[in-house]
Amino acid sequence: MSAAESKTHTAVQTVVPKFGRIDSDLSEVEQAISRSTEYVLSLQHPEGYWSGELEADAMLEADYIFLHVLLESGDPGRLQRAYNEMMRFQNDDGSWSLYPGGPGNISLSVKCYFSAKLMGRTADDPRLVKCREWILANGGVVACNTFTKMYLCALGQYDYDAVPAIPPEIVLFPNWFYFNIYEISAWSRSILVPLAIIYAKKPFKKIPAEQGIDELFVGGRTNSVLRLRIDRKKLFSWRNFFLICDRITHLSERVHIRPLRKLALKRAEKWMLARLEMSDGLGAIYPAMMNAIIALRCLGYSEDDPQVIRARDEFEKLGIEQEATEEIPEPTFRMQPCMSPVWDTAQAVYALGEAGVPRDDERMIKAVDWMLSKEVRHPGDWCVKVPHVEPGGWYFEFNNEFYPDTDDTAQVLLALKQVDNPRERYQYEVSQRAIEWEFAMQCRNGGWGSFDKDNTKMIFQYIPFADHNAMLDPPTVDITGRMLEMLAAYGYTQDDKRVKKAIDFILKEQEPDGSWFGRWGVNYLYGTFLVLRGLEAIGFDQHEPQVQQAAEWVRMVQNSDGGWGETCGTYDDPNTRGVGPSTPSQTAWALLALLAAGDDRSDSIAKGVRWLLTHQLENGTWDETMREGIRRESIITGTGFPKVFYLAYTYYRHYFPLLALTTYKRAMERAA
C-alpha cells in the first residue's frame, strides 16, 4: 500500500455543508477537484502507470488452499494466512457470499468449508457446523457448479463420472464448425482448455478421511452420482441434445474408446503453451492461471520445469500479504483475480486531463508512453473471427498479448487525447491502428462485445458444464456507449454508418423504465451513465425522449441523502435496479449521466454534488468500504460475470468522482 493510500481513511473532510445552490459559488467544487487531482497523481507508479488492487470474494483464498494441497506445495505460513483471510468473510448464517451483504452462495460455501477442513479444522468446529447446516439446507454438494465439482474430484470428494464432461476433443473442432472453442467467450476458453486437460487426466490425491466432506451430501455420498436428467417433456431441445452428448462422452470414458484423445491433448497443450507466452499467465486471470498450473502437472511437467515455475510465479504475484492491525488481529494473505494497470491508467489519465492537468505535464506524458508500450502487436484469439486485420488495441493487465479488449482500447484512446505527446506521429499511428481494429470488432447488430466479435450463440448456455453463466461475450451497451464517446473524440459523427448502427443498437436495448443494463459495472447506473455519455458526445439530441426518460430514471432512484447506489443483487432481481447505499463511484456515474442528458440545474444534481463534497476525505479521495478503513471490504461496483463473480476496483472511488466534479464545473461555467 502506498503512503498516499495509507492516509485514505484517516479523517472525513470537515467542510460544513452550505444551504442553497452549489452553482452560486464553485469555489468548493474547485477546491475538491484540486485535492482529488493531487491525490490521484500521488498514486502514480514511478514507471508511469496506475494500478489499484482488485478485490473479490473468498473463493480466491479457498482455491489457493486447494491448489497447494493438491500439488503438495506452498508455504504453510502463507496458507494459514490465506485461511485467516477466507474466514473473515463468513456470514452469520454460516455461508459465504459473492459480494459483501449478499446472500450465501452454495459453490463458494462448499469451497470454503472444504478448504477449512484441509487446513485442519474439524467437522465439529462451531463455524463449520453452522456452514454445514446452511449447505445441507441449500441442496448440499450436488447443487454446486461444475468447476467446483471438478476441484472436489481431484481430492476424492466427488466422482468424475458424475461431473459434466469437458472432453479435450473440443479443441479439435475446426474453426468453421458451429461448436468450435472460439464460439465461447475468451475467458471461458482460457479456463476450459486447461480444465479439459484436467478432466482427461483425472488427477487424484487421497486425503485423510477427517478432511473429507461426505457430511455435505444430502442423504449421503451416494447422491454424488446423480446426473442432470433429460427433459422428457421437451425431447427435441438443445439441452437434451447436449445431455445425450454428455452421456455418450462418459460412456466412452468408461470403456476407454477415445481414438482422438492423444491428438486432442497435444493440441490443447500446444494451445495453452502458446498463450502462456507474452502474458502474465494463461489469460492473465486467476482461474485460468490456476487451471494451467494443474494441467501442466497433469501432462507430466515437473515442478522444476521452466513452464511450471513461470506459471507458478505469475500466479503468486497476485497475492498480497497483510500485517495484523487493530481491526484485523491476525496477519492475512489475499489473492487478486488479476491486475488492472492499463484500465486504471487510462481512466486516471482521462480524469486528470479533464480536470485540467496540463497536456504537456511530464507525469501525463510518462503515463501515455507507458500505455503506448502496451499496444498489442501480435495476433490473438480475436483473429479467428476477424482475419486480415492488423493487430492493435490494448489489454487490461500488464501483459496479455492474446487478449486485447475493445473496452480498454476505447478508454486508452480517450486518454491519449488528453496529452500532447512529443512523439505525436507515433501516437497518431498507434491510435489509427486501434480505431481500425475497433471497427473491425463491431458486431453485426451494431454493438461491441469485449474480446470477440459476434460471440452470441445462445445454445452454448445449454451445455452441461456451462453453469458458470459466462459462456458468451455478446455486445453490450456499456462498451458501445464508451465506444461512441471515443469515436466522437476522434472526429466521427452520426453520418458514419457504423456509428449510426451503434446508436440503433443502444436505443433498442433501453429498458422500459429508461435505464440501460450494465454488463461490466454495477449495474443500471453504470450502463445508463456510459450510454448517455456516448450519445451526448456523438451529438445525439438531448431532448429525445430516450435521453430524457433515462435522466428521469436516474433522478427517480436518487437516495434521500443525495447520493446514488446499487447492489449486485440487481443482476438477480432487476426490480431492485438503482437501489443500494450511496457510494462515491455510483454517485459520480449518476451525476455524469444527468450532465450528459443536459441536466445541470436540477435539485438532483445539486444534492449529488453536495454529497460528493461532504464525503470527500481530507486527503482528497473518498471512502467506499463496508467498514471505514478496512481493506478487502469494499462495496462492490464492478462486475466480472453477472450472478457469478464480482469485483471491487479500489481506484474507482478516486477517479470517477474527480471526473464528475470536473464535468459539473464545466457545465456551470458554460451556463454562466
**Active-site residue numbers?**
407
Positions of E strands within 262-324: 319-322
Q: In whole angstroms, what is the distance from residue 288 CA to residue 192 CA?
A: 8
Residues 6+ apart with CB under 8 A from 78: 319, 321, 333
Angle separating helix axes 362-372 and 406-416, nearest 10 degrees = 150
Q: Is 120 left (phi over 0), alpha (psi -120 to 50) or beta?
A: left
- CA distance between the termini of the chain: 42
Cα distances (angstroms) measured from residue 320 to each of 65, 90, 315, 316, 546: 15, 20, 12, 9, 45
CA geometry: angle 259, 471, 196, nearest 5 deg: 30
Q: Give the neighbor-by-neighbor strand order of the sheet with 54-55.
A: 54-55, 645-649, 638-641
C-alpha cell at 21: 445552490
Closest CA to 638 of 558, 573, 583: 583
Closest CA to 346 of 394, 293, 401, 383: 394
Cα distances (angstroms) measured from residue 273 to each of 68, 219, 270, 302: 22, 43, 5, 15
Q: How many CB atoms lie within 10 A of CB 456?
A: 17
Give the dihedral of Cα atoms 393, 394, 400, 405; nearest 10 deg. -80
CA geometry: angle 176, 179, 180, nearest 5 deg: 60
Mind giving me the DSSP string for 197-246? HHHHH-------GGG--GGGSTT-GGGGG--PPP-GGG-SSHHHHHHHHH
